[in-house]
């Protein structure tokens, strides 16, 4: 919120909703406190001022403020006004209107195509329970993921599936202890989680290139500080060590995001080396597509001059020339399992396994050429 901006400036009431005007006012203010738009120490408008702005009786606003004070969110101080005291951490206060009845939220790192089968798997299971699924895009930002989680908790969702959003701030943990939450593709999170075997995927892809006779293999990767990315890199490094291949640091080309443009930039850095790699493992489907695009733009022939393996599989990998060998992960299946696990938690059951790892599969196509050891 910009300095000086009134968080209640867009406040509107619906007299036809069937919810009393005092409850609507109470709920709206409670949500703005939960969202951080109103912080501890902020002053609410005077009863008369807000009543005049909304066109309601002063007693209506006074009743709303009294409910907020009874819930411990505000306090009316003589000579000062009504002051915000605290942020609700366990959902909306008793006097507010519940929002998320039979509703769960899926918090995803971004709205990329990779997550669509996962969301469909979640929705397939949720539909059998008549559960509404809300989708929230964290835009690869732990800070935004934290803010969205606070807002979802405040609105009373029954549970959250958090997918690939990275490490959220530690202070979030105390707020979700009472809320069922399942983490997907987040190896650094405690609690109930489902994971892809990223380390196994990196090892499989890199070993495949070593088996093709390559000794100098580049790695194109998103930021290694992301735990799910670091696991894939660990698999790459283990395969290099086991296979006795070149472990030079210059062969790792790190980029800030999963995009085709980033893949091209990473590939360009590797091709500009005095001694370029003869093969590349791109730890992301868009990175693999970008690597192929950059290689072809330079007249580098794939697979004759350069072999490429990507992670994870995408329909586009079959359509490019040559079709890309990829490591596939069971994206829809992990969505199905995540929703089943969350449903059990919501129902008060405790799944026997807190951590489940799903295996990847190498899909061999034409981007590595004939197998030298066949």
pLDDT digits (tens, 9 = 90+) for 130-188: 888 999 999 888 888 888 888 888 777 889 999 998 655 444 544 445 789 999 999 98
Q: Are 308 and 354 members of one domain?
A: no
pLDDT at position 253 is 98
**Residue 162 phi, psi dihedral angles, 5° rounding:** -105, 120
The pLDDT tens digits for 218-243 are 999 999 999 999 999 999 999 999 99
Task: Give the total number of structural domains in the chain.
Answer: 3
Per-residue pLDDT for 100 more than 80?
Answer: no
**Coil/strand/helix, residue 60:** helix
364 within some domain: no
* 214 and 120 in a common domain: no
- Taking the CA of residue 172 as centre, how many other CA atoms within 13 Å lie in the half-sphere pointing to its CB? 22
CA nearest neighbour of 362 among 242, 239, 260:
239
What CATH number is given to the structural domain containing 353? 3.40.50.2300
Could you report the per-residue pLDDT of 302-360, keeping only the tens digit for each?
999 999 999 999 999 999 999 999 999 999 999 999 999 999 999 999 888 899 999 99
Q: What is residue 1's predicted lDDT score, i.e. its pLDDT?
A: 39
> Is a pLDDT exceeding 70 seen at residue 366?
yes
**Structural domain includes residue 271:** yes
User: Strands of 181-184's sheet, edge to edge?
Assistant: 132-137, 103-108, 159-163, 181-184, 193-196, 355-358
Q: How far is CA 30 from CA 26, 61, 75, 89, in A?
A: 6, 14, 13, 11
Would you say 75 and 85 are in contact if contact means Cβ atoms under 8 Å apart? yes
Kind and range of the H or E run holding 234: helix 227-243
Closest by CA to 339, choosing from 168, 160, 188, is 160
Residue 356, token pair as written in the block: 């489940």
Q: Does any domain span residue 370?
A: no
Percent residues over pLDDT 90 in the chain: 67
Is there a single domain that holds both residue 70 and residue 20?
yes
Q: Are residues 210 and 155 in the same domain?
A: no
Q: How confident is the model at residue 370 (pLDDT cuts 50, 70, 90)?
A: confident
Are 188 and 157 in a shared domain? Answer: yes
Please state the pTM of the whole predicted model. 0.77
CATH classification of the domain holding 21: 1.10.10.10
Of 42, 77, 97, the last residue of a domain is 97
Determine contact, residues 186/172, Cβ cutoff 8 Å.
no
Is residue 183 domain-shared with residue 85, that is, in the same domain?
no
* Claim to verify: residue 296 and residue 337 sit in the same structural domain: no
For residue 38, being part of any structural domain is answered with yes
State how far the alpha carbon of 3 is from the alpha carbons of 37, 44, 148, 193, in Å.
11, 15, 22, 40
**Chain-centroid distance, C-alpha 9:** 31
Residue at 130 is within a domain: yes
131 & 141 share domain: yes
Q: How confident is the model at residue 48 (pLDDT cuts 50, 70, 90)?
A: very high
**Could you tell me if 204 and 302 lie in one domain?**
yes
Phi, psi of 174 (to 5 degrees): -65, -20
Give 26-42 as a DSSP string: HHHHHHHHHTTSS-TTP
What is the reported pLDDT for 171? Answer: 42
Q: Measured between alpha carbons, how far is 67 from 44 in angstroms, rounded to an integer?
A: 14
- Highest mean pLDDT: which range of 72-76, 90-94, 167-171: 72-76
- How far apart, in Å, are the Cα atoms of 7 and each of 3, 32, 142, 182, 316? 10, 8, 24, 33, 45
Give the pLDDT of residue 142: 82
**Residue 190 falls inside a structural domain:** yes
Tell me whether residue 66 is in a domain. yes
Q: How many helices (H) does the chain have, and how many strands (E)? A: 12, 14
Q: Are residues 16 and 72 in the same domain?
A: yes
User: What is the distance between the alpha carbons of residues 220 and 257, in angstroms, rounded to a whole number?
Assistant: 11
Q: How far apart are CA 361 and CA 354, in angstroms?
A: 23
Give the pLDDT confidence of 12-41 residue by residue, as tens digits: 788 877 788 998 898 888 888 877 788 899
Lowest mean pLDDT among 35-44, 80-89, 126-135, 265-274: 80-89
Q: What are phi and psi of 266, to 5 degrees?
A: -65, -40
- Per DSSP, 7 falls in state T
Longest dimension (CA), the chain: 87
In a domain? residue 366: no
| Rounded mean pLDDT, 280-291 | 98
pLDDT of residue 373: 46
CA distances from 107 to 136, 138, 184, 336, 356 (A): 5, 7, 10, 15, 19
Classify each residue of 3-22 as buried b or exposed e, where b means 16 or more C-beta atoms within 10 Å of its C-beta.
Answer: eeeebbeebebeeeeeeebb
147 is in which domain, residue-wise? Answer: 103-196+332-358
Higher pLDDT, 173 or 108: 108
User: What average pLDDT does the chain have?
Assistant: 89
The reported pLDDT for the residue numbered 90 is: 56
pLDDT above 80 (res 124) = yes
Residue with tokens 């790459």: 236
* Judgement on whether residues 315 and 209 belong to the same structural domain of the protein: yes
Query: How high is the pLDDT of residue 66?
Result: 94
Do 323 and 342 have their domain in common? no
C-alpha–C-alpha distance, residues 342 and 182, integer Å: 6
Distance CA 280, CA 235 (A): 14
* Res 169: pLDDT: 46
């Amino acid at each position: 919120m910009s300095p000086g901006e009134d968080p209640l400036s867009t406040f509107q009431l619906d007299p036809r909703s069937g919810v009393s005007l005092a409850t609507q006012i109470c709920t709206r203010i409670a949500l703005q406190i939960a969202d951080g738009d109103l912080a501890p120490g902020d002053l609410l408008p005077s009863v008369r001022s807000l009543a005049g702005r909304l066109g309601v009786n002063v007693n209506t606003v006074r009743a709303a403020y009294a409910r907020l004070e009874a819930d411990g969110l505000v306090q009316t101080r003589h000579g000062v006004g009504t002051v915000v005291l605290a942020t609700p951490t366990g959902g909306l206060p008793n006097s507010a209107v519940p929002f998320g009845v039979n509703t769960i939220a899926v918090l995803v790192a971004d709205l990329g195509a990779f997550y669509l089968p996962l969301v469909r798997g979640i929705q397939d299971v949720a539909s059998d329970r008549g559960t509404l699924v809300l989708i929230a895009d964290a835009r690869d930002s732990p800070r935004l993921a934290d803010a969205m989680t606070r807002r979802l908790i405040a609105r009373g969702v029954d549970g959250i599936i958090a997918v690939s959003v990275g490490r959220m701030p530690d202070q979030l943990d105390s707020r979700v202890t009472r809320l069922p939450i399942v983490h997907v593709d987040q190896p650094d999170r405690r609690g109930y989680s489902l994971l892809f075997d990223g380390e196994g995927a990196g090892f499989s892809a890199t070993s495949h290139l070593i088996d093709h006779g390559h000794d100098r293999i580049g790695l194109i990767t998103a930021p290694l500080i992301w735990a799910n990315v670091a696991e894939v890199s660990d698999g790459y490094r283990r395969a290099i060590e086991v296979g006795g291949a070149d472990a030079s640091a210059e062969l790792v080309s790190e980029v800030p995001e999963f995009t085709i443009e980033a893949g091209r930039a990473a590939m360009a850095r590797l091709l500009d080396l005095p001694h370029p790699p003869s093969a590349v493992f791109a730890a992301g489907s868009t990175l693999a597509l970008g690597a192929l695009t950059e290689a072809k733009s330079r007249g580098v022939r794939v697979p004759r001059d350069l072999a490429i393996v990507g992670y994870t599989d995408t329909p586009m990998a079959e359509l490019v020339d040559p079709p890309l060998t990829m490591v596939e992960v069971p994206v829809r299946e992990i969505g199905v399992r995540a929703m089943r696990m969350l449903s059990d938690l919501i129902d008060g059951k405790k799944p026997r396994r807190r951590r489940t790892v799903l295996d990847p599969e190498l899909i061999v196509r034409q981007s590595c050429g004939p197998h030298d050891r066949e």
